[in-house]
Structure 1
Amino acid sequence: MAGEVLDNKGRGDVSWSWPPIHPEGRKFGLITAAIALVTAFFAWETIAWPMAFLTLGVLAFFRDPERVVPQADDVIVSPADGLVSLITEVDPPVELQIDDGSGSKGLPAGKVTRVSIFMSVFDVHINRAPIGGTVQRVVYIPGRFMNADLDKASEENERQHILIERQDGLAIGFTQIAGLVARRIVPFVKPGDIVAVGQRVGLIRFGSRVDVYLPAGTDPKVLLGQKVIAGETVLAELGSQKLIEGIAQ
């Protein structure tokens, strides 16, 4: 199905398949599987069985399913799988605003809506581009490893800012934030790369969060507490401002 065009009129062919494992996770799966096999060979069942289950958990964590990405100029798609844990008005990170000498003007100053998506260890951890365009900035900042569900994790945790700019000048910034057990943010892109909307841009190992900074004058189409899917869920429509209410049930 990869690369095939599908639509809301029924065009295209689909079928269920096991999601592939991202190469970043295969080495961890091989290590735990090898330990499980060796301990099973020596009949150390108290170690072999836990390692076998750990192998399945590692492979599930690094799963990399295909996604059907909406193709429309006015949509911003979710860069992460997970729970919408915070929606708040903030100033964008200074690293995404200042003139860094690259020729990219960065995000304008002023309050914008930040949508925070918390990824538990059960979510897919491959992050995707919310819009298509040129990667203007990839800024890594070392920091702490607090619970990524906390608001202050945006300023204190280890994190990586990414800025993507379209040809028409629209720029979207988002931040990958390491969590309580996450210990590495892995980028797949660098400044100057051209990416398509929904393209894989990186991953965070073992529980984390992604913050997305919407342009001024744009409200999210997702609700607090909603589950979103990277590359598929429409996070916002450009220029659309509307209160949307939901009921948990």
Structure 2
Amino acid sequence: MLRLENIHLNYGRIQALRGISLEVLPGKVVSLLGPNGAGKSSTLKVISGLLSPNDGKLVLDGQAIEGRSCSFMVKSGIIHCPEGRRVFPEFTVMENLRIGAYQRPQGSDVEDDLNRIFGYFPRLKERSQQKASTLSGGEQQMLAIGRSLMGKPKLLLLDEPSLGIAPKLVAEIFEILRTINRSGTSMLLVEQNAHMAMKISDYSYVMENGKIGLEGSAAELKNNPKLRELYLGG
């Protein structure tokens, strides 16, 4: 489905990504783990078209797409749910969700998808006419994910969905993400909560200083001494 081959990205003289290669297969959840500053969010921004790589290839379903616009990526089925939620605070929940479908043709089963999202997140239905600014942090994260799903992603990019959210809601959101994946949506998940991410991931990559340091299934990685030392507290 999606393949990154030797992606390099510079911010001026700073090398943010140093030869990143990874793959997301259809229907799978892949997690990208590592500490702050490792290059995880930059990787997602390259995939979604927010940043253009200095070198390397980005291949979606056999087509090279590196350097293409955000609009092209969205139309190709790559939807980015950003770190920090980035909901529109003065718009209602319903308005935020409908914004997620702005690239879709008029009348293209939008109402069916709204009902599906309300099935995943009943709290959003209860608060559909409230401004997004009145929601809790966890509810805003639900809204950000729901808005992303309104774009009908083939591949959903999720950047730190657990950030700043109470542990009970984190567990709830990750269980919903598992359900969404089972419905056929592939995911690339950036997450500092390695334990939670690996619970729902088919495969994980661990980044350090702009490079992939480790990779493998959750079973392979969770007992890896380097991973435990660097990211799971020893």
- Structures share fold, TM-score greater than 0.5: no
- TM-score with structure 2 setting the length: 0.27
Higher helix share: 2
Larger radius of gyration: 1
The TM-score with structure 1 as length reference comes to 0.26
